[in-house]
């Protein structure tokens, strides 16, 4: 359960009242939330995003990377590098398994009743079903901060996101 202070910080970060948060999945050493773990149902609608990046500093830095054309570059590398492609596919598989593992039991029952189970098996990181494509570097990096993600590792190596100062 989030404290009132955490809710206020997250609201400032997002610029709106937060919805569907299960918990803070990652934060800085100073306690600034960077990634939120999300519920799989938000207002009775499927929400297959497990991790949501909430840091404004990371959001802005990653937006610059996205506009630079880096997504197309990494997608070309995924097509050419079998080891990278397999590692990335494994990241998606692990993400799907972890989402099911962390899912609220009531959400799981509702998802099954509403017939959305296939969506949660099919959609990987960033809600993508084509696991050889990259969608939303923000979600890739959020997953990286909470686990193993080769795209996030590359972003740290190439852009130094892991050295970025995170503020409120």
**4-22: pLDDT as tens digits:** 999 999 999 999 998 999 9
H, E, C per residue of the chain: CCCHHHHHHHHHHHCCCCCCEEEEEEECCCCCEEEEEECCEECCEECCCCEEECCHHHHHHHHHHHHCCHHHHHHHHHHHCHHHHHHHHHHHHHHHHHHHHHCCHHHHHHHHHHCCHHHHHHCCHHHCCCCCCCCCHHHHHHHHHHCCCHHHHHHHHHHCHHHCCCCC
Q: Residue 96 above 90 pLDDT?
A: yes
Q: Residue 152 above 90 pLDDT?
A: yes
Q: Residue 158 above 90 pLDDT?
A: yes
pLDDT confidence tier of residue 44, bands split at 50, 70 and 90: confident
- The pLDDT value recorded for residue 1 is 83
Average pLDDT over residues 63-82: 97
- The pLDDT value recorded for residue 145 is 98
Find, among 54, 16, 46, 40, the residue nearest to 138 by Cα: 54
- 62 neighbors 141 (Cβ within 8 angstroms): yes
The pair of structure tokens assigned to 114 is 């509403």
- The pLDDT value recorded for residue 47 is 93
- The pLDDT value recorded for residue 148 is 93
Average pLDDT over residues 91-96: 97
- Structure-derived torsion over alpha carbons of residues 68, 77, 84, 95, reported in degrees to the nearest 10: 50
Q: Residue 28 above 90 pLDDT?
A: yes
Average pLDDT over residues 20-40: 96
What average pLDDT is seen over the chain?
Answer: 96
- The pLDDT value recorded for residue 105 is 96
């Amino acid at each position: 359960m989030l404290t009132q202070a955490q809710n206020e910080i997250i609201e400032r970060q997002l610029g709106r009242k937060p919805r569907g948060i299960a918990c803070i999945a990652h934060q800085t050493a100073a306690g600034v939330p960077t990634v939120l773990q999300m519920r799989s149902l938000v207002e009775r609608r499927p929400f297959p995003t497990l991790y949501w990046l909430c840091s404004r500093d990371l959001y802005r830095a990653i937006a610059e990377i996205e506009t630079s054309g880096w997504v197309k570059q990494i997608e070309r590398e995924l097509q050419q590098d079998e080891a990278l492609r397999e590692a990335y596919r494994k990241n998606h598989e692990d993400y799907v398994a972890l989402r099911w593992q962390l899912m609220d039991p009531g959400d799981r029952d509702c998802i099954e009743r509403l017939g959305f189970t296939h969506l949660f098996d099919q959609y990987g990181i960033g809600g993508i079903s084509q696991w050889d494509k990259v969608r939303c570097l923000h979600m890739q990096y959020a997953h990286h901060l909470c686990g193993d993600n080769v795209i996030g590792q590359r972003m740290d190596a190439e852009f130094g996101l892991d050295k970025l100062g995170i503020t409120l």
